[in-house]
Amino acid sequence: MLRPFGLVSALLALVLALPSTSLAQGDDRSVVFTNDPSQTMVVDRAAGFWPLIEAASGVLPLAEEGLAVARERLRGVAQLLAQARQRQVEAAAALARVNRLVADTVQEANRLRSTHEDVLAGLSDSSRRKLERDAQTRRNRSAVVRVATSSDWVCPVETRTKFYDSWLERRSGGREHEGVDLVGLRHDPILAPVDGVVTQRWDTLGGRSFDLVAANGDYYFGTHMSRFGADGEVQAGEVIGYMGDGGNAKGVHLHFEYHPGGKHNPVNPYPIVDAHCTNRVDINVSLYD
């Protein structure tokens, strides 16, 4: 690229090489008409290359200044590219550290699992069963707390009722009571406590009964009904039966059970109904009063 001084020298050499007549200047005047023919103006027209050279020499400082600005901008772009490259390197290093951390965590989890399996393998059958029972008890207790504090759970007996904690009381045939008895009036509606799927059935022990499986897998059971209500998919609060004394019931009531996680895992439902069934009277008070 020619520097400004080299450019001027080249222009001078070109001018000196031309015939002398090319540099002749004259006072030639031309008339230039505007759009309005009544208006005219006279301009001076200079011939030759010297005016061009003079004009070019005036432009050169501007060109040099523009080149300086361009060089400064290129320097800024180069700095930005260098910074971007540095950030890319740092990001790659951070990703590598995260990958190492994940790998270490997985390795530690595998080690703990292997240690846990080795410990269980070294336990006696009775010790292993005790650990499993303790774990199940903790899960059941957590489920009861979850349901008792839920804002969506509905008491299955909306009308006035009375009940007490009868968990594991002795029943006929050597059975233990695995629910809570909600005493009410005949034909009082029984409501679905949660959204789920209801199946209706009948047996000689409880008479008309319902099985309700919630969306999360929890299982509810009720029996001694006088009539069936809705079945299939139901919403919480929907009528799924009516209070009665069918089967071996003594007095009108709903025998109600809760099995967190599925059937054959009964837990004491008293804390749940005690929290949600607020239309309640004392167990010694008559519902007819």
Task: Give the residue extent of every domain in the chain.
Answer: 96-149, 172-276
Contact 224, 245 (CB under 8 A): yes
In this predicted structure, what is the pLDDT of residue 6? 53
Contact 289, 221 (CB under 8 A): no
What does the alpha-carbon distance between residue 180 and residue 33 come to, in Å, rounded to a whole number?
A: 113
Reported as type and span, the H/E element at residue 225 is strand 219-228
Q: Quick one: tokens of 24?
A: 């002749």
In this predicted structure, what is the pLDDT of residue 20? 44
Q: How many CB atoms lie within 10 A of CB 110?
A: 10
Q: CB-based contacts of 221: which residues, under 8 Å, 6+ apart?
A: 179, 209, 210, 211, 212, 256, 257, 259
3-state secondary structure of 163: coil
In this predicted structure, what is the pLDDT of residue 55? 60
Closest CA to 213 of 233, 239, 238: 233
Query: CATH assignment of 172-276?
Result: 2.70.70.10
Contact 203, 220 (CB under 8 A): no
Give the CA distances from residue 107 to residues 32, 112, 120, in Å, rounded to whole numbers and listed in that order. Answer: 92, 9, 20
What does the alpha-carbon distance between residue 29 and residue 133 come to, in Å, rounded to a whole number?
A: 117
User: What's the alpha-carbon Rg for the chain, to the nearest Å?
Assistant: 48
Residue 103 DSSP symbol: H
Mean pLDDT for back-to-back runs of 10 residues, the chain (289 residues) = 50 49 44 52 51 62 75 83 84 80 78 68 76 91 96 97 96 92 97 98 94 97 98 98 95 97 96 97 90
In this predicted structure, what is the pLDDT of residue 284? 93
In this predicted structure, what is the pLDDT of residue 76? 81
What does the alpha-carbon distance between residue 99 and residue 106 come to, in Å, rounded to a whole number?
A: 11
Determine the Cα angle at 158 with ends 211 and 155, to 5°. Answer: 50
Q: Quick one: tokens of 82?
A: 């260098």
CA-based torsion, 106, 108, 112, 117: positive or negative: positive
What does the alpha-carbon distance between residue 152 and residue 22 come to, in Å, rounded to a whole number?
A: 102
